[in-house]
Amino acid sequence: MILIGENINVMSTKIGVAMKNKEADPIRELALAQRKAGMDYMDINIGPSKRRGPDVMDWIVKTIQEVVDLPLFLDTTNVEAIEAGIKVHKGEAVINSIMCRPERMKALFPLARKYDAAFVGLLWGVEGMASRTRCERCRAYGGRSRAGDRG
Instruction: Write the pLDDT tens digit of every residue in 14-72.
Output: 999 999 999 999 999 999 999 999 999 999 999 999 999 999 999 999 999 999 999 99
**Full-model pTM:** 0.83
- pLDDT of 125: 62
- pLDDT of 127: 66
Work out the burial of residue 134: count CB atoms within 10 Å of its CB; fewer than 13 is exposed, 13-18 middle, 19 or more buried.
middle
- pLDDT of 80: 97
Instruction: Write the pLDDT tens digit of every residue in 128-144.
Output: 666 655 455 445 444 44
- pLDDT of 102: 85
Domain edges within the chain: 4-91
Please, are residues 72 and 41 in contact by the beta-carbon 8 Å criterion?
yes
Task: Give the pLDDT band of residue 151 (cuts 50, 70, 90).
Answer: very low
Phi, psi of 87 (to 5 degrees): -60, -35
